[in-house]
Structure 1
């Protein structure tokens, strides 16, 4: 039913979906129902949806929530969404036309989205700057697996560290390629993300983490020396950088980056920040 309805709407409005823009529309009724159920939306919720498309997810969310903030960048598709909402007499959806990575989000308390894949990373980090209860988000499988990866695993990354320190993230279920039109190249997964405040995760920590993971298979000391420009824009000699790095916890500096726990990177960042302030 959902697949047929979607195809008819796209044909009616002469819309050609573009994979490069992450326009992969969910057409599986069962998966849609699971997402909505996982979201646990109540009549008091204001839900943020990023990449609303023609309203596949927007409409069932609107029937449960107090309000839905539906962001869609494509102006033509946003007009189709607004038209559908009028036809269905749904008045509690605010359609926001724009780039979700650039616009400010109105207040919301939950997020439910089939995210455009090319903005998965910037949107995930942007969301962490806002207060909300939890998010139900669909990502490409590879990205979702990186979000929940643990130290020592091959796909452990800067993203994994940030998710571990700033959220409680759980992979709920997988979504096959044939659940979308057009089918993406790889499968997807639905994630439940609960934000957790961590005051130690500041800009200095983020820069330190970025420097480390540019050389994730090397020892932490070598990674920091080689990517010190990510941490400081001061014009420093390599020997002076080594001198600073050698003052940080020796055991942590000898560990391979991809084996470091988030808490250990916090220690490295805190010690490095203190040393830099003394220069």
Structure 2
């Protein structure tokens, strides 16, 4: 669990602070998360507590992570005596994450959105169960595109359901940023256990390296071509379709099927995914 300590030395961003100031958006984030008593939820970049306060009202345990000392002092005054809120003075890029399942409800500073999402969505095993977050509009569009643009995005989309809920105008922030934001909803996909992920990674890597190859040939790198053909047919996928055109969810279900029937011995995941 995170501890209350002085933040490590991390070079500050130059993007400035843009505070979410639209109550309708805030309540949409909290309501969409569905968190309640007994749940652990993190508000990254808590600022003055705009999202922290309604989260506390749900009865969930809230970790309000904030780097700015002035905001930290204000948060501790505001939530002094609250049994459901713990203010953590640290940087979201390095703060220790919980070792139990947790949710995230936060308006993430645009400049550090990708580093934080990488911390939350990349590791195996990961403890993020769900998230309702505000990110830059362009980033949300890229993450929810039907065809992931790179291997990292494919890895995230194969293991999490990433959904763009709504566009958030720049005027909903104080001061207003130069671009609009988006409400991004994230849910961990069920059934994608560690064994399935160990199969999924080399499969996605092969798709990324050979995007125009037929799906049956790419899957045939891991199993027999006969089994590859049957698996793809069973999952409503044309075996002759270019691998990159196969919907990411289909590759996930193929990996889950292979993990369940023991058809292959999955290789060890790269160290970068296990840390």
8 Å CA contact retained: 1:161, 1:261: no
Alignment of 1:92 onto 2:84: yes
1:70-81 matches, within 5 Å, as: 70-81=64-75
Alignment of 1:187 onto 2:183: no
CA distance in 2, matches of 1:24, 1:210: 40
- The residue that corresponds to 2:228 in the other structure is none
- How far does residue 30 in structure 1 lie from its aligned partner after superposition? 1.6
CA distance in 2, matches of 1:257, 1:99: 39
- The residue that corresponds to 1:66 in the other structure is 60
Distance 1:179 1:90, change over 3 A: same
CA distance in 1, matches of 2:203, 2:78: 44
CA distance in 1, matches of 2:13, 2:22: 18
Distance 1:51 1:209, change over 3 A: farther
What per-residue deviation string (whole Å, max 9, x for no partner) do you get for residues 255-274 of structure 1? Answer: 9896565466999xx9xx79
SS of equivalent to 1:79: helix
Distance 1:22 1:258, change over 3 A: farther
CA distance in 2, matches of 1:158, 1:260: 14
- The residue that corresponds to 1:48 in the other structure is 42
Max Rg structure: 1
- How far does residue 190 in structure 1 lie from its aligned partner after superposition? 0.9
TM-score when normalising by structure 1:
0.64
What per-residue deviation string (whole Å, max 9, x for no partner) do you get for residues 67-113 of structure 1? Answer: 10111122222112112222xx5332111111222221134532111
1:111-122 matches, within 5 Å, as: 111-122=104-115
What per-residue deviation string (whole Å, max 9, x for no partner) do you get for residues 227-268 of structure 1? Answer: xxxxxxxxxxxxxxxxxx9x969xxxxx9896565466999x
CA distance in 2, matches of 1:92, 1:28: 24
Alignment of 1:140 onto 2:136: yes
RMSD: 3.8
8 Å CA contact retained: 2:13, 2:111: no
CA distance in 1, matches of 2:207, 2:68: 35
Give 1 or 2: higher helix fraction: 1
SS of equivalent to 1:189: strand
- How far does residue 145 in structure 1 lie from its aligned partner after superposition? 0.9
**Matched residues, number:** 221
CA distance in 2, matches of 1:53, 1:168: 28
SS of equivalent to 1:90: coil
TM-score when normalising by structure 2:
0.65
Picking from 23, 31, 37, the partner of 1:37 is 31
- The residue that corresponds to 1:150 in the other structure is 146
Runs (4 or more) in structure 1 with deviation over 3 Å come to 155-160, 198-213, 255-267
CA distance in 2, matches of 1:22, 1:207: 40
Tell me, which stretches of 5 or more residues in structure 1 are unaligned? Answer: 1-17, 214-218, 222-244, 250-254, 275-279
Distance 1:179 1:257, change over 3 A: farther
Deviates more, 1:126-135 or 1:97-106: 126-135
